[in-house]
């Protein structure tokens, strides 16, 4: 190896590689898993992506990930109250699977056990050279939960996957498989207390005819860096609603990688990004319409205050055989500060000839007319602004058409506005 061709590593890159040297022998996995980990580390040795890498254009990870903390294996994290009352909670506490509440009829296993026996090995490894999130996670992931919902099962209780960090580094995997015609509501909570580096990679396999509501709620504290990813396969005639809320973190990258595989599936993405302080938050979606007559709509609403920066990259690729695809994407931002900003980059790659695809993006301020109307009814300016900002995002939440979920999410909104409004 010619050492001179190597670029100079940042302190964060060095710290990541050093952490692997120290942790490798304690990480669970069979030979195949170990090989996958080594391969992932090889990718990391090439350095973190900077803004010249197109997929990372809005998030220069090499510059923004300025600090990689050491693992803190003694730190203690406690499970949280679930978002939805009555949920079965599956907590990962500071990177280790805790005691799980398992609803009847479904099977749950720890990711550590599935890495040890090698049965989850195929999920490890970056999908491509730009897949830094999975590379970091594949190198270090030690635990999480694998959930299997059998065909035909309609879960009454929601399942809540919790990834609660207590500082240091936490790398977690979740894998959910919903069998044919299964119905379920699944919440993925990303939260904690420390200035941690968190990576969390999830897999969701939505079987033919299944109906799934999957909510990702990211509320890291303001010193944490969060690298999230979900990899989704949507089967024939299946319906998936994916809701993503980002309301915290210092550096956040949330990747959504979806394949609408089966014919006639319906996919909805609803996203709410509440950005304050000096948060940098990037939601990047790649959606492949592979099956014919697949429908998708993507609506992202952002509220930006203070010096926060955000980005949404939405790429929709329609394969040649995916005729009759119908896709609509919208990204709307309410900018409440001159110092904040939000970038939106829609991208359509269409190889079929009979499709309907559209996208739109807006950046607006609070409408003076609306504010005047509310104030003319005696509502003070601060309250009136709060109502209008909440209305802007609540519209997306109300589309979920599920009362307990809407109420729980609106309570989250209220809590955020009380703190940052």
What is the Cα–Cα distance from 93 to 115, expressed in whole angstroms? Answer: 18
Q: Is 392 near another protein (CB under 8 A)?
A: yes
Q: How far is the CB of 272 from another protein (least distance, A)?
A: 12
Tokens of 270: 């609803």
Which secondary-structure segment (H or E) carries 284? strand 280-289
The rounded radius of gyration (Å) of the Cα atoms in the chain is 21
C-alpha–C-alpha distance, residues 106 and 186, integer Å: 13
377 part of the interface to another protein, by CB under 8 A: yes
Least Å distance, CB 418 to another protein, is 15
CB 203, CB 231: distance < 8 Å: yes
- Interface pick for another protein out of 321, 360, 373, 411 (rule CB under 8 A): 373
In whole angstroms, give the CA distance from residue 211 to residue 126: 28
Whether 145 and 111 have beta carbons less than 8 Å apart is answered as yes
Residue 97 pairs with which residues in a beta bridge? 92
Nearest approach, Cβ of residue 33 and another protein (Å):
48
**Among 96-104, 218-226, 335-343, 379-387, which window interacts with another protein (CB under 8 A)?**
379-387
Name the residue among 205, 351, 234 with its Cα closest to residue 294: 234
Q: Which is nearer to another protein, 274 or 327 (CB)?
A: 274
Residue 362 binds to another protein (criterion: CB under 8 A): no
Given CA atoms 7, 13, 18, 24 in this order, what sign does their dihedral have? negative
Residue 222 binds to another protein (criterion: CB under 8 A):
no
Dist. CA 38–CA 17, nearest whole Å: 11
Q: Of 254 and 402, which CB lies nearer to another protein in the complex structure? A: 402
Q: Applying CB under 8 A, does 378 fall inside the site for another protein?
A: yes
Q: How far is the CB of 380 from another protein (least distance, A)?
A: 5
Write the DSSP symbol of residue 325.
Answer: -
Please state, in angstroms and rounded to a whole number, the distance separating the CA atoms of residues 81 and 216: 15
- Alpha-carbon span 306 to 326, nearest angstrom: 37
Decide if residue 339 touches another protein (CB under 8 A). no
Interacting span for another protein (CB under 8 A) from 91-99, 167-175, 204-212, 375-383: 375-383
Nearer to another protein, 7 or 418 (CB): 418
The burial class, CB within 10 Å (0-12 / 13-18 / 19+), for 236 is middle
Q: Which residue's CB is nearer to another protein, number 236 or number 370?
A: 370
Please report, for residues 105, 177, 179, 254, 296, the alpha-carbon distance to residue 151 in angstroms, rounded to integers and kept in the order given.
10, 10, 4, 29, 24
376 binds another protein (CB under 8 A): yes
Q: Does 360 help bind another protein (rule: CB under 8 A)? A: no
Q: Is 24 in the site for another protein (CB under 8 A)?
A: no
Could you tell me the smallest distance in angstroms from the CB atom of residue 373 to another protein? Answer: 4
Q: How far is the CB of 367 from another protein (least distance, A)?
A: 8
Least distance (Å) between residue 375 CB and another protein: 4
Cβ(173)–Cβ(37) below 8 Å: no
- Part of the chain binding another protein (CB under 8 A), chosen from 79-87, 165-173, 339-347, 366-374: 366-374
Binding to another protein, residues 395-414 (CB under 8 A)? 395, 398
Question: Rule CB under 8 A: is residue 372 a binding residue for another protein?
Answer: yes
Distances in whole angstroms, Cα of residue 357 to Cα of each of 243, 252, 299, 323, 349: 21, 28, 14, 11, 10
Q: Is 380 in the site for another protein (CB under 8 A)?
A: yes
- Say how many residues touch another protein, by CB under 8 A: 24
Angstrom distance (rounded) from CA 49 to CA 24: 23
Confirm or reject binding of residue 387 to another protein (CB under 8 A).
yes
Measured from the CB of residue 387, what is the shortest distance to another protein in angstroms?
Answer: 6
Residues recorded for the chain: 421
Q: How far is the CB of 369 from another protein (least distance, A)?
A: 5
Binding site for another protein (CB under 8 A): 368-370, 372-381, 383-384, 387-388, 390-395, 398
């Amino acid at each position: 190896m010619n050492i001179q061709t190597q670029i100079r590593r940042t302190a964060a890159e060095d710290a990541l590689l050093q952490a692997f040297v120290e942790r490798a022998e304690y990480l669970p996995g069979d030979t195949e898993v170990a090989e996958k980990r080594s391969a992932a580390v090889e990718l990391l040795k090439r350095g973190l992506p900077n803004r010249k890498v197109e997929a990372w254009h809005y998030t220069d990870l090499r510059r923004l990930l300025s600090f990689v903390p050491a693992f803190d294996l003694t730190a203690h994290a406690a499970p949280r109250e679930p978002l939805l009352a009555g949920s079965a909670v599956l907590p990962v506490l500071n990177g280790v699977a805790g005691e799980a509440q398992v609803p009847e009829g479904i099977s749950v296993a720890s990711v550590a056990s599935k890495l040890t026996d090698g049965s989850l090995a195929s999920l490890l490894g970056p999908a491509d050279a730009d897949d830094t999130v999975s590379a970091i996670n594949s190198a270090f992931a030690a635990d999480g939960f694998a959930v299997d919902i059998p065909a035909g099962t309609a879960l009454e209780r929601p399942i809540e996957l919790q990834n609660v960090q207590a500082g240091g580094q936490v790398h977690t995997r979740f894998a959910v498989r919903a069998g044919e015609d299964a119905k379920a509501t699944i919440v993925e909570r990303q939260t904690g207390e420390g200035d941690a580096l968190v990576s969390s990679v999830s897999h969701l396999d939505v079987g033919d005819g299944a109906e799934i509501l999957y909510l990702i709620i990211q509320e890291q504290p303001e010193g944490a860096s969060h690298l999230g990813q979900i990899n989704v396969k949507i089967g024939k005639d299946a319906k998936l609603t994916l809701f993503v809320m980002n309301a915290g973190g210092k550096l956040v990258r949330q990747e959504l990688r979806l394949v609408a595989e089966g014919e006639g599936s319906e996919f909805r993405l609803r996203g709410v990004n509440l950005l304050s302080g000096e948060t940098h938050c990037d939601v990047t979606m790649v959606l492949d319409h592979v099956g014919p007559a697949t429908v998708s709509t993507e609506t992202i609403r952002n509220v930006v205050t203070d010096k926060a920066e955000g980005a949404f990259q939405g790429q929709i690729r329609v394969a040649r055989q995916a005729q009759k695809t119908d896709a609509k994407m919208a990204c709307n931002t309410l900018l409440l500060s001159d110092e904040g900003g939000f970038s939106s980059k829609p991208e359509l790659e269409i190889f079929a000839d009979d499709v309907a695809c559209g996208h739109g993006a807006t950046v607006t301020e609070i409408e003076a007319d609306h504010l005047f109307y509310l104030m003319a009814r005696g509502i003070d300016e601060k309250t009136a602004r709060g109502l209008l900002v909440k209305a802007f995002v609540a519209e997306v939440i109300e589309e979920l058409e599920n009362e307990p979920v809407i109420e729980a999410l609106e309570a989250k909104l209220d809590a955020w506005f009380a703190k940052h409004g």
